[in-house]
Amino acid sequence: MSVRKLKPITPGQRFRVVNGFDAITTDKPEKSLLAPNKRSGGRNSQGRMTMRYRGGGHKKKYRIIDFKRDKDGIPATVASIEYDPNRTAFIALVNYQDGEKRYVIAQNGLQVGQNIVSGEKVAPEIGNSMTLANIPLGTIISCIELHPGQGAVMARSAGAFAQLMARDGKYATVKLPSGETRMVLTSCKATVGAVSNSDHQLLVSGKAGRSRWLGRRPRTRPVVMNPVDHPMGGGEGKSSGGHPRSRNGIPAKGYRTRSKSKASNKYIIERRKK
């Protein structure tokens, strides 16, 4: 994978850094795995805006992704690596031997023609999915379940990976991308390898219009608001501001908001870095 810096032939392209898309093998998605994707524009079921700075953007079809990887013991061949507008990672179209087609999150190094399989007694190779009980310690993993059969919920974005550190009884210790170390049931599934498109963090949009294409509207800084709109608003000239806080007064930048009595606290061995 690589990135390309464009020539500054327009102001918007002067600082633009785009993905090289070396890993992408096709630009046509599998029609049977597409679904409509209605945009909310930040409005709830009553039509009221509950999330600011959303709206517009290009139309997108949703790709139905297999996060559960529940076709155990049936090998699948990677047919193509594709771009997905709904996520930062690339996706892979896989053809199972029984004729079914599915989309899965593509791991770094996954190649067209490669065979992947999920199940209990499979080799710990890139793209294979298995329970944490069967993955060797120290392995780089991604697309991790939090509850057995739930489907992958952790380490799914571009370049993300976790590491299997230890096993003790029915729990495995996993170091997550955030830096947090927590216990996960060994009956939960994970996929071997890091997620594809690790160069995503190097991209530069180049202009504000590109955010509009992605459905993001311009964000008003709290400091320039009036006191009626935000705790950080008001003041003469540039004297406004105060301690950074959210619109409903909760301090930002370091203030811990996690409940001390949260049920999952007992599974967290080490909190993420500040």
What CATH number corresponds to the domain at position 56?
A: 2.40.50.140
Asked whether residue 274 carries a pLDDT value surpassing 80, the answer given is no
- What does the pLDDT read at residue 239? 82
Taking residue 191's Cβ as centre, other Cβ atoms within 10 Å add up to 26
The answer to the question of residue 245 being in a domain is: no
- Domain span at 117: 3-201
Asked whether residue 1 carries a pLDDT value surpassing 80, the answer given is no
The answer to the question of residue 30 being in a domain is: yes
Q: Are 118 and 134 in contact (CB under 8 A)?
A: no
Q: Amino acid identity, residue 116?
A: I
- What does the pLDDT read at residue 240? 81
- The three-class DSSP label of residue 212 is helix
Measured between alpha carbons, how far is 66 from 74 in angstroms, rounded to an integer?
14
The answer to the question of residue 113 being in a domain is: yes
- What does the pLDDT read at residue 238? 79
The answer to the question of residue 218 being in a domain is: no
Q: Among the listed ranges 137-141, 156-160, 235-239, which one has the minimum average pLDDT value?
A: 235-239
Task: Please write the tens of the pLDDT for every residue from 109-132.
Answer: 999 999 999 999 899 999 999 999
Buried b (16+ CB within 10 A) or exposed e, 78-92: bbbbbbbeebbbbbb
Give me the number of domains the chain comprises. 1
Count Cβ atoms within 10 A of the Cβ of residue 145 and give its class: 0-12 exposed, 13-18 middle, 19 or more buried. buried
- What does the pLDDT read at residue 213? 97
Element (H, E) at 181: strand 181-185
**What average pLDDT does the structure give for the chain?**
95
The tokens for 145 are 């379940």
The answer to the question of residue 266 being in a domain is: no
The answer to the question of residue 243 being in a domain is: no
The answer to the question of residue 26 being in a domain is: yes
Phi, psi angles (nearest 5°) of residue 80: -165, 155
Instruction: Report the pLDDT averaged over residues 250-257.
Output: 92
The answer to the question of residue 265 being in a domain is: no
| Strand 181-185 relative to strand 34-36, pairing | unpaired
